[in-house]
Structure 1
Amino acid sequence: MLQRLLPTALLTLALAACSTPPPDEQEQAAAASEQRAEDAARPASEGETATAAPPTDAGACDDVQAQWLVGKAPADADLQQAQKDAGASTVRMLKPGQVVTMEFRADRLNAEVDEKGVVSAVRCG
C-alpha cells in the first residue's frame, strides 16, 4: 500500500513546486504602474482623444508622473509637487544608508537620493 502512495505523493509535491505563487501587493502595484506608463506613451488612435487614465486604485501612487524629479537636488516644494503629480498621499526622501521601514504602501512616493542629495530614483511603495 505504501508503495502505491509514494509515487502519488511525489508527483503531487513535484506539481506543487512548479506552481506559481500569487503576486504580492507590491508586484501588482508595479505592474499597474507599468501598464499606465505604457498606456500614456501609446499615441491616441484616430478619432480618439488622448487623456491620461486615472490610477486603478484612487489611493495609489503613479511614480511615472514624478520622474521629472530624477537628477534634481529637490527642495521641499519639489517633493510636494512630485507627491501631487504622482497622486501620492505621502512622500519621503531616502538617503544612502538610511534605516527605513520596509512595509509597502501603494499611496507613498519614495525619492531616493545619492550622497550629493540628487534624486537617483523615484518609485511608489
Structure 2
Amino acid sequence: MSFPIRARSLSALLLPAVLALTACQAPSMDEQDAATANAQQAAEAAKAPADEAGKATEAPPAGTCDASQVQSLVGQAYTDAVGKQAQEDAGASQVRVLKPNDVATMEFLGDRLNVEVDAKDVVSGVRCG
C-alpha cells in the first residue's frame, strides 16, 4: 500500500520539473547558425592583418598627438586650463581625462591626448591614443 503513495508523490515532484524543462527550448539551428556566421564575419572584419607568426603587418594609425611635449605635466594639479594648454602643446584634437577606476574604450586615436590623474586630480601620466 505504500507503493501507490510513493508513486503519487514522485509524479507530483517530476511533473513540474518535466514541464519546466520542456518550456526551455534552445533556438532553432537556423538561428544558431546565423548568429555564428555573423560573429565570424565580425571577427574577421575586426582582425588586424598579421603574418604567419601572428605579428601585425600594419602599424596603428598615426595621429598628430605628441605626448613627449607635455610630460612635464606629471606631478602637477590638473585643471581645465592645464588640459587645454596640454592639448595645444601636444598637437592633439581632443583630450580625455582618465581618473582612477574610470571605464575607457580601448580604440587607438592618434590625435587624442589621454591625461591620467589620481584621486586628488594630480597628473600621473600623459599619452596619446
In the superposition, the TM-score normalised over structure 1's length comes to 0.57
The residue aligned with 2:25 is none
Q: Deviations over 1:99-122 (max 9, x none)?
A: 111111000000001122111110
- Equivalent-residue separation in structure 1 for 2:57 and 2:66 (angstroms): 22
The residue aligned with 1:69 is 73
How many pairs were matched up? 79
Stretches of structure 1 lacking an aligned partner (at least 5 in a row): 1-15, 30-58
| 1:95 equivalenced with 2:99 (yes/no) | yes
- Equivalent-residue separation in structure 1 for 2:73 and 2:55 (angstroms): 36
Counterpart of 2:116 (choices 94, 112, 116) is 112
User: Per the alignment, in what secondary structure is the counterpart of residue 95 of structure 2?
Assistant: strand
Stretches of structure 2 lacking an aligned partner (at least 5 in a row): 1-51
Q: Deviations over 1:27-68 (max 9, x none)?
A: xx5xxxxxxxxxxxxxxxxxxxxxxxxxxxxx5100011112
Counterpart of 1:78 (choices 82, 106, 120) is 82
Larger Rg: 2
Deviation (angstroms), 1:92: 1.2
The residue aligned with 2:60 is 25
- Runs of 4+ with deviation above 2 angstroms: none
In the superposition, the TM-score normalised over structure 2's length comes to 0.55
The residue aligned with 1:43 is none
Provide the identity percentage: 59
Structure 2 residue identity aligned to 1:96: P
Structure 1 residue identity aligned to 2:107: E
- Equivalent-residue separation in structure 2 for 1:110 and 1:81 (angstroms): 13
User: Per the alignment, in what secondary structure is the counterpart of residue 64 of structure 2?
Assistant: coil
